[in-house]
Structure 1
Amino acid sequence: MTHKIPESVLVVIHTADLDVLLIERAGNPGFWQSVTGSLDAPDEPLLATATRELFEETGIVADGERIVLRDWQLSNVYEIYPVWRHRYGPGVTQNTEHVFSVQVPRDIAITLAPREHVAYEWLPYLAAADKCFSPSNAEAILQLPRQLRKMSS
């Protein structure tokens, strides 16, 4: 088994009205989150990881024109939950997560990866933050309005 790289992306998917898409993890009922995923190789560009994970987990294609991923230039370092540490190399206990967002039309088709997620839901951003099991994911959602203002100025 190859170990996961302890560096990942978090992609907050939202509409212009700040509704946020959350997806429920397969095998962990009640664990709602945004798109997340680890680098496939140590030299994989973060934007490539975010683009790949967005497509793999939701079927959304970031084409760079109509659907554009935004790199927040923000990283979180957090402790990997013990239940998932076996996926990483011996002694690895922390992950570095890089935050992205993407604005999509509310009626965009969502196609979940059934081995990873079993349900999705659109929620106003405050409700979405409350529903996330991950503190860093919840915090990113809460920062969404400020980040969007910052990117538009």
Structure 2
Amino acid sequence: MKIPISVLVVIYTASNEVLLLERKDHPGYWQSVTGSLDALDEPLIDAAARELFEETGIDVSALPPNSLQSMNQQIQYEIYPQWRHRYGEGVTENTEHWFKVLLPNRVPVTLSPREHLSYQWQPIDVAAPLCFSPSNRQAMQKLNSD
């Protein structure tokens, strides 16, 4: 069963382009990197780095120091009914912690074929409305306000 604590990682470049991933289980649903903790004691920053690598092949240890940062934002949201079976009985809400990764430029992306179909780089103002998740849109908009 999944732990109802997750990370959202927005990947963006110095020229304000954002990486979007298309979900395999819902073609047409675009998002940033997301994923749940593997264990209750997994540090959030470690979960963010792990999910980033699993879903894109981007290794934080190969990036400049402090490229992965907390956005100091967490939200609670209702888990979509079609995904509740992944959690324990009666679990309907998830707590999501936001992170960002600043890249100097676009980097090669290696998708997780079990999770994503394709990817695209878009300017933040174009990328945000493409995200199906309201919190993902809000996280991208927060990049513009930081």
TM over 0.5: yes
Q: TM-score, normalised by structure 2?
A: 0.96
What corresponds to 2:19 in structure 1?
21
2:111 is the counterpart of 1:135: no
Moved more, 67-76 or 133-142: 67-76
- Indicate the RMSD between aligned Cα atoms, in angstroms: 1.2
What corresponds to 1:83 in structure 2?
82
Percent sequence identity is: 57
Q: Which amino acid aligns with 2:127?
A: A
- 1:4-153 equivalences under 5 Å are 4-63=2-61, 66=64, 68-147=67-146
Q: Which amino acid aligns with 1:134?
A: S
Q: Which aligned runs of 4 or more in structure 1 are off by greater than 2 angstroms? A: none
Gaps of 5+ in 2: none
Q: Distance in 2 between matches of 1:126 and 1:53?
A: 24
Deviation of 1:17 (Å): 1.2
- The question of whether the paired residues in 1 share the 8 Å contact of 2:13 and 2:106 is answered with no
Deviation of 1:58 (Å): 0.2
Q: Distance in 2 between matches of 1:47 and 1:64?
A: 16
SS at match of 1:63: helix
Q: TM-score, normalised by structure 1?
A: 0.91
What corresponds to 1:151 in structure 2?
none
**Number of aligned residues:** 145
